Amino acid sequence: MAKSEKRALVTGAAGLIGSHLTDLLVREGWKVRALDNLEPQTHRRGKPAWIHPEAEFIHGDIRDRETIATALDKIDIVFHQAAYGGYMPEISKYVHVNSLGTAQMLEVIREKSLPIQKIIVASSQAVYSEGAGICPRHGLVFPTVRPIEQLRKGDWEVHCPICGAVTKSAPTPENAPVGGETVYGLTKVDQEKLVLLWGKQVGVPAVALRYSCTYGPRQSIFNPYTGVIAIFCTRLLNNLSPVLYEDGRQTRDFSFVEDIARANLLAAETDKLDGLAVNVGGGKGVPIRQVAQILSKALKIDIEPEARGEFRPGEMRHLTSDTTKIRSAGYKPQIELEEGIQRYIDWIRSQSDIRDYFSEAEQILKSKGIVHRVEVGNA
Ligand SMILES: NC(=O)c1ccc[n+]([C@@H]2O[C@H](COP(=O)([O-])OP(=O)(O)OC[C@H]3O[C@@H](n4cnc5c(N)ncnc54)[C@H](O)[C@@H]3O)[C@@H](O)[C@H]2O)c1
Ligand SMILES: [Zn+2]
């Protein structure tokens, strides 16, 4: 017998997280409506075969009012995953898709008095400016983004905002300051604030899940602004070295996509997270250089990563999620990085024509001033 009779709308359901979430919900007995506009940057070959056949698929844009009204009809829970991501220079598109798209969805629900029972919105660790740090004198501090002048000198460290000492990375709790240091990050703040505020106003439970770096099978191999694991993997498969920004010792917290899908299901089923912005991650900081090494070992392609003294202003040095809150609601990530990477590799090996879209993207990022280089003499 089905465990649930609930009806879900998953937006962005053709994407990495949305598609795995759809699979999980269908498996759990939910009726799923899957909305996606098949953003060409992510889906260069059109509709992917992995969209679950039992989900009702709507090919449409979150920005279109009629589409959203149709998609929301007879839905209990909304899992809002659709977003425009990455480091693209199209500022207004982020605001349109992420901020305006979300605002409009909420407006439609209220206008039509739709009986939505809960909204879960995909937020991101990109809402933080920099990961928390431990200062030898001041203990836990929340440093701001590193100034570009500092990065130009090749000083990658995160300094204490009070005394300037070098800090050591610490897990970042949800009450760290949010603001976002990229346009994408800014719109993720918008999305979570809009949904949480609106939920409180109208009495609909809402949860914003701040995902850490998510990876896994189906992560777009076309979108060059996708996650670092997908980028390094396609580079290696094209016999090119993974390119490390800064010195490669920056750390990230990785989540396997199925764990993120499980976090969404948990947020739907428990009321412990209602009204909150919650970190979802593995709670472990892994140096990016190590990610490149795990990948090259798993792929058996022996190419060393390369640090060219390049950096992206606004990028965090370290981010490890403090996952106390979601763990206390019952979340436990199940897939370790090595296993998840192996699952990703098994999948990518089954894909044809894995071109290196990264080199092309890199040129755009450089010409638009998004990737910088340390000044001569400082590298
Ligand atoms: N992957 C990560 O590391 C990560 C980390 C933090 C947060 N997130 C968030 O999780 C969510 C899902 O990300 P993902 O990694 O699955 O990305 P993805 O690009 O694989 O999936 C996003 C999907 O949304 C769709 N989409 C984009 N614009 C749309 C629009 N205007 N209308 C309808 N559909 C649209 C795309 O076609 C795509 O299928 C996003 O909100 C993202 O910001 C992802
Ligand atoms: Zn200090």
Number of CB atoms found within 10 A of residue 226's CB:
22
The string of DSSP codes covering 332-359 is -----HHHHHHHHHHHHHTSS-----HH
DSSP secondary structure letter of residue 169:
E
The per-residue pLDDT for range 141-197, each reduced to its tens digit, is: 999 999 999 999 999 999 999 999 999 999 999 999 998 788 999 999 999 999 999
User: What pLDDT does residue 297 have?
Assistant: 96
The residue to mutate among 124, 223, 253, having the most atoms of ligand 1 within 8 angstroms of its beta carbon, is 124
The residue to mutate among 24, 36, 84, 210, having the most atoms of ligand 1 within 8 angstroms of its beta carbon, is 36
| Joined tokens for residue 161 | 């905002």
User: What pLDDT does residue 190 have?
Assistant: 97
Kindly provide the residue ranges of all beta strands, DSSP E only, lying in 49-105, ordered along the sequence. 56-59, 77-80
State yes or no: pLDDT of 1 exceeds 50: no
Pick the atom of ligand 1 nearest to 36's CA. 34
* Continuous segment of H or E residues that includes residue 100: none
Instruction: Tell me the pLDDT band of 85, cut-offs 50, 70 and 90.
Output: confident
- Are 142 and 132 in contact by the 8 Å Cβ rule? The answer is yes
| Measured distance CA(153)–CA(121) in Å, rounded | 38
Instruction: Tell me the pLDDT band of 375, cut-offs 50, 70 and 90.
Output: confident
Of the bound ligands, which one is closest to the alpha carbon of residue 94? 1
User: What pLDDT does residue 182 have?
Assistant: 86
The residue to mutate among 192, 211, 264, having the most atoms of ligand 1 within 8 angstroms of its beta carbon, is 211
The per-residue pLDDT for range 275-295, each reduced to its tens digit, is: 999 999 999 999 999 999 999
pLDDT > 70: what percent of the chain? 92
Instruction: Tell me the pLDDT band of 45, cut-offs 50, 70 and 90.
Output: confident
| Measured distance CA(260)–CA(20) in Å, rounded | 9
Of the bound ligands, which one is closest to the alpha carbon of residue 219? 1
**How far is the centre of ligand 1, averaged over its atoms, from the C-alpha of 155 (Å)?**
33
State yes or no: pLDDT of 127 exceeds 50: yes
Instruction: Tell me the pLDDT band of 223, cut-offs 50, 70 and 90.
Output: low
Pocket of ligand 1 (CB under 6 A): 11-12, 14-18, 35-39, 42-43, 61-63, 81-85, 97, 101, 122, 124, 211, 213-214, 220, 227
Pick the atom of ligand 1 nearest to 61's CA. 32
State yes or no: pLDDT of 4 exceeds 80: no
The residue to mutate among 183, 214, 258, having the most atoms of ligand 1 within 8 angstroms of its beta carbon, is 214
User: What pLDDT does residue 279 have?
Assistant: 98
The contacts of residue 283 (CB under 8 Å, 6+ apart) are 171, 253, 320, 321, 322, 323, 333
**Mean pLDDT over residues 129-140, rounded?**
97
The per-residue pLDDT for range 239-272, each reduced to its tens digit, is: 999 999 999 999 999 999 999 999 999 999 999 9
Of the bound ligands, which one is closest to the alpha carbon of residue 159? 2
Rg (CA), the chain: 20
The string of DSSP codes covering 266-307 is HHHH-STTTT-EEEES-S--EEHHHHHHHHHHHHT-----EE
Pick the atom of ligand 1 nearest to 97's CA. 31
The string of DSSP codes covering 110-156 is HHTT----EEEEEEEGGGBSS--EEETTTEEE---PPPHHHHHTT--
Pick the atom of ligand 1 nearest to 80's CA. 41
| Torsion angle (degrees, nearest 10) of CA 367, 369, 370, 376 | 100
Residue type, 369: G
The per-residue pLDDT for range 323-349, each reduced to its tens digit, is: 999 999 999 999 999 999 999 999 988
- Are 212 and 254 in contact by the 8 Å Cβ rule? The answer is yes
Domains of the chain, with CATH numbers? 7-132+171-370 (3.40.50.720)
**How far is the centre of ligand 1, averaged over its atoms, from the C-alpha of 207 (Å)?**
17
Residue 179 vs residues 16, 128, 130, 173, 207: alpha-carbon distances, Å:
25, 6, 10, 14, 18
Residue type, 80: H
State yes or no: pLDDT of 232 exceeds 70: yes
State yes or no: pLDDT of 2 exceeds 60: no
In which residue are the tokens 């412990």 written? 272
Across the chain, mean pLDDT equals 92
